[in-house]
Copies of this chain bind each other. A is one copy, B any other.
Amino acid sequence: MLKVSGLLAAFWLQLFLCSSLGPVEGGKILVMPVDGSHWLSMKILVEELSQRGHEMVVLVPDTSILIQSSDTYTALSFKVPYTKAELYSSLKKLKERFTKAPQFSDLLENIMGLLSFTNMQVKGCEGLLYDKDLMQKLREKHFDLVLTDPFLPCGPIIAEAFSLPAVYFLRGLPCGLDLEATQCPSPPSYVPRFFVDNTDVMTFTQRVKNVFMAGFEKILCIILYSSFDELTSRYLEKDISFRDILGHAAIWLNRYDFTFEFPRPVMPNMVRIGGINCAKKKPLPAELQEFVEGSGDDGFIVFTLGSFVSELPESKAREFFEAFRQIPQRRDNVLHMVVRGVAESLNMYDLTSEKLLEKVRKVLNDKSYREKITELSQIHRDRPIEPLDLAVFWTEFVMRHGGAEHLRPAAHQLNWVQYHSLDVFGFLLFVLVVVVFIIIKTCKFCFRKCFRRTQKKKKE
């Protein structure tokens, strides 16, 4: 059993391990983004990779809202089987469903609404995947890597179809599919689930709700991703689910850090790049700069409604905002901030100017908010390497080594029962029951023998 350690192992190890690597050569990267605010963050990485000499090809739906052509990357447009008007109409419907204060009875209707919206997006993916000419053109480009946002299935499916390593760029996926796909443990006893308004510290009742929601999420996952699964297996012509192909990703670049996230287990191939948006070092526009400088001792309030507002006409902005603000991951942010004592939250459905003013005054006048956000901000900024550099490093790493196999846990080879050792526990329980059964039978047998003998003797 005991082995001679360090004896024969790795003669060259010492020599090889302690010198440095050369720079990465220019690679070819296929980018499949998700439109809207998702793109605004990814664009920063795409532009940086382009500046570092990589050829970037970005796939853009012809109904694109925010993805535009650029000098830094090649934008390849693909047709989707709906018009821009139909997209907006679908968004409007989604909005109408969500503007009412949600009742539990509306849950099914809301899910159906969300489903119809994502199904439309999946149809967009189909438009791309079944465009044979475009796909052939892409295949002939011999890319080194697919950089994609797995919020929609097109990118992961293309990476799988082209047998290319994939780097995912995301905040998180609805109903925790990213955690499932990376085999990342997420104990419901302290990792809060969506919709239940829990923090990481829960009462017994809250934990019951959380465990319930964790189970419900599994069902929701099946419903929500059914069209993803169908497209995945149909296009790849094998019995494989969307979750399965997500599990093949080399690196997950996650746009969060634990300053504003409840600490929980992570996997070695999950890289936190929260704060990547701060990479922009552009000066303020002149009129804003003037406004800031002129604000005096009272300071000023940054009133922000999300990424869409500044770049869309007001009517459109309103529609987008009202639809997208419902997405759970966004919705969730505020609670983290409230728990850390740096924010107050307001309910959208009974918002009045009085309530708003009261909260604004509270946040402005109570020093604790300012002190705590200063502290959190210092922690958030205090990192060994800038998130953009980290994202670039891992993208290039995957190109240099054709993946990141050494970070892939063997858990991917196990099914749910095996992963949780339920078969082992079942077997051990069976053995235990058999042993106990035999012992009891033997005891009974011996007892009877002895007892009969005693009775016989007595009778005699």
Contacts and interface: CB of A to CB of B under 8 A. Distances in A.
A333 B5 contact: yes
A408 interface: yes
Given A187-B421, A197-B1, A335-B3, A17 B380 contact: yes
Nearest to A301: B11
Interface stretch (A167-175, A204-212, A432-440): A204-212
Contacts of A344: 8-9
A5 B410 contact: no
A428 B208 CA distance: 8
Interface in A368-386: 370, 373-382, 384-385
Interface string A418-460: 1111011101100000000000000000000000000000000
A243 to B, nearest CB: 18
Nearest to A351: B4
B382 A385 contact: no
From A200, A382, A400, A419, residue with most partner B Cβ within 10 Å: A382
A8 B268 contact: no
Interface string A99-121: 00110000000000000000000
A286 interface: no
Interface string A341-375: 01111111101000010011001100000100111
Contacts of A4: 325, 334, 345-348, 351
A262 interface: yes
A190 interface: yes
A363 to B, nearest CB: 6
B302 A370 contact: no
Contacts of A349: 2
A13 B335 contact: no
B262 A410 contact: yes
Given A4-B346, A7-B346, A10-B342, A189 B414 contact: yes
Interface in A239-268: 258-259, 262-268
B337 A9 contact: yes
Nearest to A394: B384
Contacts of A410: 190, 199-201, 262-263
9 contacts: A5-B334, A6-B334, A7-B303, A7-B346, A8-B344, A9-B345, A16-B374, A185-B187, A189-B421
